[in-house]
Structures are given as C-alpha cells and as structure tokens.
Amino acid sequence: MGRSSLPSSKRMGTRHTPSLSTSALNKGLFLPGYKEPMHQDPLLAKLPPAGLNFIDHIVGNQPDDQMVPTTDWYTKCLLFHRFWSIDDKQIYTEFSSLRSIVVANYEETIKMPINEPAPGRRISQIQEFVDYNGGPGVQHIALSTTNIIEAIVNLRARGTEFLSAPDTYYQDLRHKLKTAKIKVKEDLDVLQKLKILVDFDDNGYLLQIFTKPMQDRPTLFLEVIQRRNHFGFGAGNFKSLFEAIEKDQDARGNL
C-alpha cells in the first residue's frame, strides 16, 4: 500500500470521517481531482525548498465522549487496530487535559490519533478547536522530513510561523539526555534556537515542531517531524505542546 493522503472527508452520523486515497494508484499531479493552477507565481521558484516528503500521521479532534465511537468506526469499518492510547491522567496542564487513542491500519502505514477533551478548570484546546471548526475535524497533519533543521530554516524563510517552547524545556532536555541510552546527533543549541522539540526512548528519538494555525481560526495546523528509529508521537512533548497552544488560546481570550 502506498503513502496515504486525505483528499476529502465524509460525515458519518455525528462523526467526521476522512476518506482515504493511496498514492500507489494515483498518477496525477497531486491527489485525485487536482489540476495544475492557471497562474504560476514566479516568486515560488526563488523560495528555498521545504524538504517535506510525505504525511507521517493525521490527528483528529472529536467532541467529548465521541473519541471511542469514532475509533470503533475505524476498527469495525476499516479494520484498523488500536496502536496506542493515553488518558487525561497523563496529558494535562494547570487548566485542561485530553484523552487520545491512536488507530492504525494492518500495515501501520496509516496512523491516526483521535483526541477528545477531558474535564478541566478551563476550556480545553480540543474543545476550542471543535467550537471554531463547527464540529469534529482534522486538528493537524504531520509531514515527514529527513533534515528538520534545514526544513525549519527554509520554512521560516518562506514565512511559516511556529509555536515556541521555553528555554526551560531545553534545560530539562539536556538533564534527561545525560542518563539516556541514546545520543541526539543534532546540535542541541541549534534545536533550541529553532524551538524544535525532542522525544526519545531507549531505541531512538524524534524531532518535531508545530506551526501556528493555518488560518485566522484556531483550527488546522501542521507538524514537521523527523524520526530516528522512534515510532511514537512525541508523548513526552504533549505537555509542552499543550501549554504552547494554551498560551495562544489565552491571548485569544478563550482559555
């Protein structure tokens, strides 16, 4: 099965269920139905390449109590299986929390974390997404790269804005890496300057960073991810990501 993309979505009852398309069968310009634009901006050729290769995973947000029914639909109708899960005892901040179940196809070439808000002192960023999106939908799309430092430098040059991690995150990271079984090849000072996050286990690590919302509503955003023998979803960074999103959420007056 080729790399899979989500060109469209269909509503199944109250759930927002993406339709799947495999690149192995698609020989067109991009995805089925796409046509070459009539106007080619001459400035595009002068911009540095983004270096993004394929979709690593896609994350969906659901209203409260809809995560399990949605993942059940994937397992029953598409024969996906539960790949990983995490609850509100593991992902929380001072103000809010979330629950998440990751489903995957048999080959585990398609992975989809499904989130829902959990009760907290304030409005969860998952609930804020659902409110502004007008219902459930794709929260973010993770794009894979083989050189995240070059990719982020170039994307910033192209005008992409990213969420920021505090310097204390990198102080804690350096402390944890002193006793880790793996060694991060990239320069930690460069990662800190670019605000790239690191998650690791005994076998490998991943590097990731998240953009700000792609439009004026706090809905869809992108992730850039580089994997080095690590196949998780940055669980160690969930709290940092959550707090960064909540900082923007508070600035909007929605926390």
User: How high is the pLDDT of residue 88?
Assistant: 44
User: How high is the pLDDT of residue 9?
Assistant: 44
User: How high is the pLDDT of residue 156?
Assistant: 97
Domain 48-251 architecture: Roll (3.10)
Joined together, the tokens standing for residue 106 give 């048999």
Cα torsion at 20, 25, 28, 31 (round to 10°)?
10
User: How high is the pLDDT of residue 40?
Assistant: 84
User: How high is the pLDDT of residue 7?
Assistant: 42
**Whole-structure pTM over 0.85, yes or no?**
no
The three-state secondary structure class of 75 is: helix
Cα–Cα distance, 179 to 160 (Å, whole number)? 35
Ranges of residues in the chain whose predicted pLDDT is under 50: 1-13, 88-89
User: How high is the pLDDT of residue 74?
Assistant: 97
CA distances (Å), origin 141, targets 54, 57, 144, 210, 226: 10, 6, 10, 10, 14
The answer to whether 110 and 104 have CB atoms below 8 angstroms apart is: yes
CA distances (Å), origin 3, targets 44, 105, 124, 156: 26, 12, 32, 26
User: How high is the pLDDT of residue 12?
Assistant: 46
- The number of CA neighbours under 13 Å toward the Cβ of 216 is 0
